[in-house]
Amino acid sequence: MSQTTSAPRWISGIEPPEELLSANGTQILELECRQQPEQLHKIISAYSKDEEVRAELKALCSLAKAKGPVMFIGMGGSLCSAISGSIMLQSHGRSSFSVDAGEWLHYGSFVWQDAAASILLTVSGESAELVELLKRMGGERLGLICNNTASTCWKLAQHKLPILAGPEYGNATKTYTNGTAAAIILASEMLCYRWEEDALRALEVFAGSLDRIFGMRKQMEEFWRGTVNTEVIGRGSAYGAAVMGALTIREMSGHRAAPHTGAGFKHGPNLDVNASHLAVIFALGRTAGLGVKLAQECNRRGGKVILVSSEDHARSDCLFPVKIDAVPEPWESVTSILVAQALTLGIIEQIGCRLPPRFQYGVMEQ
């Protein structure tokens, strides 16, 4: 009896070239990190000029005119990207929140209709929770931001925006960066805020900083070496980068890393900081001073800090400063992720990569 073999479910529906199929996780991480500036430029250009994308942005902006908050909904790296969208709206007086798709599916159904619009973010477009939300919520007040235009979510959604990051085979790098850009741009359009100059400034800083920050990865790893607990801390949109940064370290290396807001870290977790701790602190944007203050407190308790700031700080045995130029809020969620990516690459080059590349979608279930 002959057996039928199902066709491969390639990521984004595209079969990867042979040289990628033989690459390891460390090689894939660096490759995809270095693709980010090009992909970021692509989404900025498309969202500014592409007529089809502009029409979808206009349709989603019309939804947001209704009474109620704008909800950004995702999981994992997609939820990290969603945070910047809601922060952009909140900062300009529009009620908006980011929520986990699994929690929203199982516990939020009684208030779904209270939202003016719900924006679902998903890289694969195949995550079981997101698919189920699309089926249950209907399409009237719903939008989708997705990287896979051949996916179930893309087919189900009435209003949709592409992430335009290309296939991604390792940790969320370019999909986080582009997904975050998409959320910020959509929120800006809802506010009738001219975002193009801000986006191009962020791209300039991002592209101009990548080689320099990645060139520091060995030094960062040596500073990190011996750490038992790694904390990644940010406020506002940089909290999204903190969550994504902790995920990147943890998924790629197997080392335990935890994300926190600055205030959340001060109210409890900082009490056990000692020489076994390293904190990556994003001291950026309007609350930069609070980040610097927290770094000083961690140092007083004996902990080490990688301090990401737009200001100059002196290096010491317990402080490793990384300067990155300021960008308009909330674009620091894009530029700051470079530090976590570089640290992760330095770690896995030293101890090995835990996460192998994934070229096909597996079974996605709740």
Domain containing 235: what range? 213-351
Domain assignment present for 361? no
Q: Read off the amino acid at residue 184.
A: I
Domain assignment present for 364? no
Domain assignment present for 2? no
Compute the distance between CA of residue 214 and CA of residue 216 in angstroms, rounded to an integer.
5
Compute the distance between CA of residue 216 and CA of residue 232 in angstroms, rounded to an integer.
18
Residues 75 and 138 in one domain: yes
Domain assignment present for 68? yes
Residues 265 and 149 in one domain: no
Residues 140 and 172 in one domain: yes
Residues 39 and 107 in one domain: yes
* Predicted local distance difference test score (pLDDT) of residue 358: 73
Residue 166, number of CB atoms within 10 A of its CB: 17
Res 8 pLDDT > 80: no
Domain count within the chain: 2
Residues 193 and 219 in one domain: no
The residue from 150, 173, 201 where one domain ends is: 201
**pTM summary value:** 0.94
Residues 196 and 217 in one domain: no
Residues 68 and 130 in one domain: yes
Domain assignment present for 333? yes
Question: Band of the pLDDT at 357, cuts 50, 70, 90?
Answer: confident
Domain of 276, CATH number, reads 3.40.50.10490
Residues 181 and 289 in one domain: no
* Predicted local distance difference test score (pLDDT) of residue 169: 86
- Over residues 278-303, the pLDDT tens digits come to 999 999 999 999 999 999 999 999 99
Residue whose tokens read 């500036």? 37
* Predicted local distance difference test score (pLDDT) of residue 17: 75
